[in-house]
């Protein structure tokens, strides 16, 4: 199943990118400019969004997350490296920054299907891709990286992110999300996750789905599901932001220790949001059920 991207995210690779002049590319004019280039992008927060082939609303989720970050005054670079994304421009391995397309004052986009493999090193990691994005991100405050669990495991090697999982109201999407959680918890060491339910369901139903996933994650993996949010793929782009999605976005910012630059105060932003009860899934890590939730039927996934 392919990812359905909203109209503001490109679905093809036909954008025109100027050919960089090799005589001037990345050549600092003086020492100060050289230092600015060297430390450009150190403020970027990387938010890994785990691709789920059973979920068709990933494009809308990316759009709404960009809006949630934008509500905090932050600019977002969306990097779509999932299997359903468009391939990168042919110059991406030469000048990554030149291939980033500006969609608005707060959102830019990079098609990157297969691009992380160009950064595969002798340890079978793709950690160099993060550094390349950090340098190419320019003024972006957040890099929203959409990719498969295996790629994210290699890209974030040596780090401990809090991945954002995707699911919908179907059992196979929850099974896929659990499989991604299992891979990243065992091979990356990530034990804290968030979940976005991309479906036209109630808040109570989305929290119930999160509860089922959290039960299995806690019992089999020792992992915890921290926050659950819901995105309606059929909602208009100008629909008001949901409080649970804003909390998830702010929680992601709080989990990332930014280096340098003006400090972002997530506690202040949380206080400004309307009251939202803590979902049951957020408390799932405090208990260890004897058996996993029956609807998921994940007993063979040990």
Nearest Cα neighbor of 243 from 227, 225, 222, 219 is 227
**Tens digits of per-residue pLDDT, 136-193?**
999 999 999 999 999 999 999 999 999 999 999 999 999 999 999 999 999 999 999 9
**226 CB-near residues (< 8 Å, 6+ apart):** 162, 192, 193, 194, 251, 282
pLDDT digits (tens, 9 = 90+) for 116-137: 999 999 999 999 999 999 999 9
Lateral strand order in the sheet of 192-198: 101-102, 107-111, 76-80, 142-147, 45-50, 164-167, 192-198, 224-231
| φ, ψ of residue 118 in degrees (nearest 5) | -70, -15
59 neighbors 196 (Cβ within 8 angstroms): no
pLDDT in tens, 51-60: 999 999 899 9
pLDDT at 98 over 70: yes
- Confidence check: pLDDT of 2 > 90: no
Q: Which CATH class is domain 40-260+270-285?
A: alpha beta
Which residues have C-beta within 8 Å of that of residue 16, sequence separation ≥ 6?
Answer: none
Q: Is the pLDDT of residue 41 over 60?
A: no
Residue extents of the structural domains in the chain: 40-260+270-285
| pLDDT, tens digit (0-9, with 9 covering 90-100), for 199-237 | 999 889 999 999 999 999 999 999 999 999 999 999 988
Whether residue 58 contacts residue 146, with contact meaning beta carbons closer than 8 Å, is answered with yes
Question: Which strand (E) or helix (H) includes residue 228?
Answer: strand 224-231
């Amino acid at each position: 199943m392919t990812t359905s991207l909203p109209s503001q995210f490109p679905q093809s690779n036909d954008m025109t990118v100027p050919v960089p002049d090799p005589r001037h590319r990345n050549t600092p004019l003086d020492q100060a400019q050289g230092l600015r280039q060297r430390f450009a992008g150190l403020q970027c927060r990387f938010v890994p969004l785990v691709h789920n082939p059973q979920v068709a609303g990933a494009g809308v989720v990316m759009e709404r997350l960009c809006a949630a970050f934008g509500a905090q005054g932050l600019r977002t670079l969306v990097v779509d490296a999932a299997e359903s994304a468009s391939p990168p421009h042919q110059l991406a391995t030469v000048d990554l920054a030149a291939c980033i397309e500006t969609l608005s004052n707060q959102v830019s986009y990079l098609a990157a299907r297969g691009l992380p493999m160009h950064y595969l090193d002798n340890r079978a990691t793709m950690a160099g891709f993060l550094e390349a994005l950090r340098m190419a991100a320019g003024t972006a405050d957040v890099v929203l990286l959409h990719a498969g669990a295996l790629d994210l495991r290699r890209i974030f090697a040596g780090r401990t992110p809090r991945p954002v999982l995707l699911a919908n109201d179907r059992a196979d999407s929850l099974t896929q999300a659990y499989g991604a959680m299992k891979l990243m918890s065992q091979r990356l060491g990530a034990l804290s996750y968030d979940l976005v339910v991309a479906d036209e369901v109630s808040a109570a139903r989305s929290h119930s789905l999160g509860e089922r996933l959290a039960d299995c994650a806690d019992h089999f993996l020792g992992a915890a599901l921290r926050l659950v949010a819901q995105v309606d793929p059929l909602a208009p782009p100008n629909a008001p932001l949901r409080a649970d999605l804003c909390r998830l976005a702010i929680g992601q910012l709080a989990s990332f220790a930014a280096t340098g630059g003006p400090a972002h105060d997530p506690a202040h932003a949380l206080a400004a949001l309307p009251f939202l009860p803590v979902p049951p899934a957020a408390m799932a890590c405090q208990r260890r059920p004897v058996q996993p939730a029956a609807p998921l039927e994940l007993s063979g996934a040990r």
